[in-house]
Amino acid sequence: MSYPNQNPYGPPQGQPQGPPQPQYGYPQQQPMQSQPYAPFPAGPTGPAGMPGIPAPNQMPSGVKAARVMLFLLAASGVIGIILMTIGLNELSSASSQYGGLGGDTRGMLNVGKGAMIFIMILQAAYAAVALILGLQYAKGGNGIRIGTIVFGSVSILCSIPFAFAVYGIPSFVMSILIIVFAAKQDGQAWFTRPRY
3-state secondary structure 145-187: HHHHHHHHHHHHHHHCCCCCCCCCHHHHHHHHHHHHHHHCHHH
pTM of the model: 0.65
C-alpha 118, offset from chain centre: 29
Q: Phi/psi at 52 (nearest 5 deg)?
A: 130, -110
Q: Is the pLDDT of residue 186 over 80?
A: yes
Mean pLDDT of the chain: 78
Question: Using one digit for the tens of pLDDT, what is the confidence trace for 142-164?
Answer: 899 999 999 999 999 888 877 66
Adjacent-strand bridge partners of 51: 45
Let me know if 50 is exposed, middle or buried by CB neighbors in 10 A (0-12, 13-18, 19+). Answer: exposed
Identify the band that residue 102 occupies on the pLDDT scale cut at 50, 70 and 90: low
- Report the sign of the C-alpha dihedral through residues 124, 172, 139, 47, in that order: positive
Rounded percentage of the chain residues whose pLDDT exceeds 70? 62
- Which pLDDT value is given to residue 82? 93
Q: Is the pLDDT of residue 88 over 80?
A: yes
Nearest to 138 by CA among 79, 195, 69: 195
Reported residue count of the chain is 196
How far apart, in whole angstroms, are the C-alpha atoms of residue 91 and residue 78?
20
- Which pLDDT value is given to residue 20? 59
Rounded percentage of the chain residues whose pLDDT exceeds 90? 31
